């Protein structure tokens, strides 16, 4: 079996498990509390979604993909070379269901240090959840994962 097929199987199986969804959403809730304390500046420029232009990459795990897939209202989105396929104008078209990396990253230069520390902390928690819930752990670039799951046109 190819890795793409394995990933699809793992993500689809996990997307049917309410305890997986609840565990990831609990981490997202803790992260939102951390972000609220830090109060990073967001000017809604949309730069953070234009990955290549801004010079960053977004990564996602198997369980996050499962939760995202379970909540995604439309099953195919157009590719957006250089950026996120879910960016609509300057805003996120899936803001309410965006993965951890999107919830964590802010263009605000003053937030770099706390972002690094919080990323390590919360990513570690998400990684442990994979073990706890016996979901194979895959950590891959967001757009590549979306292509492998056939959620965006290649």
What are the extents of the domains in the chain?
3-147
Confidence of residue 117 (pLDDT cuts 50, 70, 90): confident
CA distances from 99 to 1, 57, 86, 90 (A): 27, 13, 12, 18
Per-residue pLDDT, 34:
86
Average pLDDT over residues 35-53: 77
pLDDT at 37 over 50: yes
What is the share, in percent, of the chain residues with pLDDT greater than 90?
42
Per-residue pLDDT, 23:
98
CB 114 within 8 A of CB 38: yes
Name the pairing type of β-strands 59-61 and 87-88. Answer: unpaired
Bigger pLDDT: 148 or 132? 132
**CA 28, CA 38: separation in Å to the nearest integer?**
15
Which residues have C-beta within 8 Å of that of residue 11, sequence separation ≥ 6? 62, 65, 66, 69, 149
Average pLDDT, the chain: 86
The structure's pTM equals 0.88
Bigger pLDDT: 83 or 136? 136
Per-residue pLDDT, 1:
46
């Amino acid at each position: 079996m190819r890795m793409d097929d394995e990933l699809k199987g793992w993500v689809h199986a996990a997307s049917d498990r309410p305890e997986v969804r609840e565990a990831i959403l609990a981490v997202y809730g803790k992260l939102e509390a951390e972000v609220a304390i830090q109060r990073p500046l967001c000017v809604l420029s949309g730069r953070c979604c234009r990955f290549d232009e801004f010079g960053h990459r977004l990564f996602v795990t198997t369980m996050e993909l499962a939760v995202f897939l379970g909540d995604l209202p439309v099953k195919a989105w157009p590719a957006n070379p250089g950026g996120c396929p879910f960016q609509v104008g300057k805003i996120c078209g899936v803001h309410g269901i965006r993965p951890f990396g999107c919830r964590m990253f802010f263009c605000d230069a003053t937030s770099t240090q706390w972002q690094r520390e919080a990323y390590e902390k919360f990513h570690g928690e998400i990684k442990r959840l994979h073990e706890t819930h016996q979901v194979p752990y895959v950590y891959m670039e967001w757009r590549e994962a979306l292509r492998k799951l056939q959620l965006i046109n290649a």
